[in-house]
Chain A
């Protein structure tokens, strides 16, 4: 049996999906488009195997964006390669039924088997809403169940009804009468919805006093912006400070593992491959798992709490000054985790020009793959001091790097608007501000787990294969017998690095950095592992342990700062470029992104290096 979950944004569709399927979820893309496809499965009390897809949220079936088109096509059975759902579940936030009932009336025209799920029913009851479920079901002409997705057993009624519906003989397929609704029909369905609500649901209900109280502060023009800044600041301090103990633990575990391999195996190529290539390479990336978990934890918490829409509200006109749409805030904030989901999230912006601007600047947001690079360099070169009492200097530098990314993104956006699209009416900003909800540990845990798994898979595939390649390039050809210099100086890596050195020398980069930057194109964090491998092979076994201490002796402060500046801007990520190509449907925008970011990176590094040297850090 196939189920499809449909609902307006913020209807609690995803928490219901999590409650039904737990961690048995598959996240992929629909073929040909970059809309996220979430599918899961569960077994009903009667033992029926059910698959369920979580469709993108929508207020109607008109299909204004690629996301909404997917929802429409699956409900209508038009999506190629997708099963026609046996039952469509329309999920509603019970405290907020007005827009969902209108959607139900529109869905009914498709003549698909339909059931309305009144989710978050406990909150509605607490706020004084009483629903005559039987009468509502009769008025709508479809089954209606209540559910509390976040409570254990809260979906029992839903499961029971699903079993009942599945057991019934399939009704003869009816004619789909749905066509895009005209303005008059939309208005008529909303009026009908209001009439049904008035007849079957007791209103007025008490507004959510907590939401009103929180919004009085959070949406206050001045206090609200201060709170937003504070949240971002705490988030970045946390990423740096809280993750530290765990990272040290992981790091020493990998060192011990490397040492074990070193002690067990005879000296030679295999020992070098396992210790320097695999363990120190992959290990130096996995160490950053705690930071990635923390940043995703913050983003998911803010999203589930309902704060993200408020942030968009606060930032709309401020970002508008830089030529950005308020809705761009969420994709840009996601880009702090990774530009790829961020760029994909720009689908919520339906105006093409606004969307292109957001895509072009999303890679400037400091993604989590930069964290390993920043952390390595900061901990090697910036002293661990407290300043002004409780600010950590390293945390401040990290914050500065993030701020530089944001400032440059706003600057670039402003230039794009000024140069290309000087005179056009800005696209409208219309967004529901949902009531605040306490985030649920289980839902957050599933979200963080999915992201962490994706990161580890990447570490196991892309990063692992790049590390093998780097190790190979850095190890072969072998040094001639009786050679005096470190073996790496005779390798392919040295040849490539030295060929690039003249180009990068003005930035203060040596050939080892040049070697590390090439595989860094596959994924930024690989550069850290590559540096580890290059210096490990060069310095011998003892040097493999502490890349940071090694760098502190090999580089000047000016070189380190220059590399930090490079990483703020450099288009060092092939996957991001590939996603830009796919999302914009053109090589042109990909090329423009690469060119402008490269130019910015080169200029910033050149300036940083020379200023730092002039100030005596050379």
Chain B
């Protein structure tokens, strides 16, 4: 394995590996990926950053979890139905911006 790549992979959650991280809130229907990081700061949500992060974790959005966008709503393709491991969770794109995936 390329030493540069190996070092990045070993950094785990906070590093870029082969694919660049994008917020789940911008991903399209059919997207599949892995959660790399939760970043609830700088988000215009009605919840505090800590509260939003706690709720996302309670619904299973933790680093390393596999996600797939199954469905989108009719208005602004929002909310989205996300498969997280084997649970389906509906979230709005606004909150899904906190979930960085690759």
A→B interface (CB under 8 Å):
59-60, 62, 95-96, 98-99, 102, 181, 183, 186-187, 190-191, 194, 203-205, 207, 211-212, 215, 219-222, 224-225, 309, 312-314, 316-318, 320-321, 326, 351, 424-434
Contacts and interface: CB of A to CB of B under 8 A. Distances in A.
Nearest to A435: B88
B88 A433 contact: yes
Given A313-B81, A431-B89, A183 B57 contact: yes
A99 B58 contact: yes
B70 interface: yes
A98 B87 contact: yes
B63 to A, nearest CB: 8
A99 B74 contact: no
B15 to A, nearest CB: 18
B84 to A, nearest CB: 8
B47 interface: yes
Contact of A316 (B53, B62, B63, B92): B92
B71 interface: yes
A183 B62 CA distance: 11
A539 to B, nearest CB: 54
B21 to A, nearest CB: 18
Contact of B74 (A187, A312, A318): A318
Nearest to A93: B87
Nearest to A206: B86
19 contacts: A95-B86, A96-B87, A98-B60, A99-B60, A183-B57, A191-B62, A219-B81, A221-B72, A221-B73, A316-B90, A316-B92, A424-B46, A428-B45, A428-B91, A428-B95, A429-B90, A429-B91, A430-B91, A434-B88
Interface of B: 44-47, 50, 52-60, 62-65, 70-76, 78-79, 81, 83, 85-92, 94-95
B53 A183 contact: yes
A320 B78 CA distance: 11
Contacts of A312: 90
Contacts of A212: 70
Nearest to B70: A215
B72 A430 contact: no
B46 A351 contact: yes
Nearest to B47: A428
B57 to A, nearest CB: 5
B75 A99 contact: no
B81 A321 contact: no
Contacts of B57: 183, 186-187, 190
A479 to B, nearest CB: 64
A224 B45 CA distance: 28
B78 to A, nearest CB: 5
Contact of B71 (A190, A215, A425): A215
B73 to A, nearest CB: 5
Contacts of B59: 59, 99, 430, 432
Contacts of B52: 428
A432 B92 CA distance: 12
A288 B50 CA distance: 50
Contact of B90 (A60, A190, A431): A431
Contacts of A60: 54, 58
What are the nearest 9 A-B pairs in CB distance?
A: A221-B74, A317-B75, A59-B58, A433-B88, A219-B71, A427-B46, A186-B57, A425-B46, A428-B95
Contact of A317 (B71, B78, B91): B78
B36 to A, nearest CB: 14
Given A219-B81, A432-B88, A186 B74 contact: no
Contacts of B62: 187, 190-191, 194
A217 to B, nearest CB: 11
B60 A317 contact: no
A211 B71 CA distance: 13
Contact of A98 (B53, B70, B86): B86
Contacts of B95: 428-430
Nearest to B71: A219
A205 B46 contact: no
A429 B93 CA distance: 10
A431 B85 CA distance: 15
Nearest to B83: A207
B79 A316 contact: yes
A425 B44 contact: yes
Nearest to A321: B75
B47 A427 contact: yes
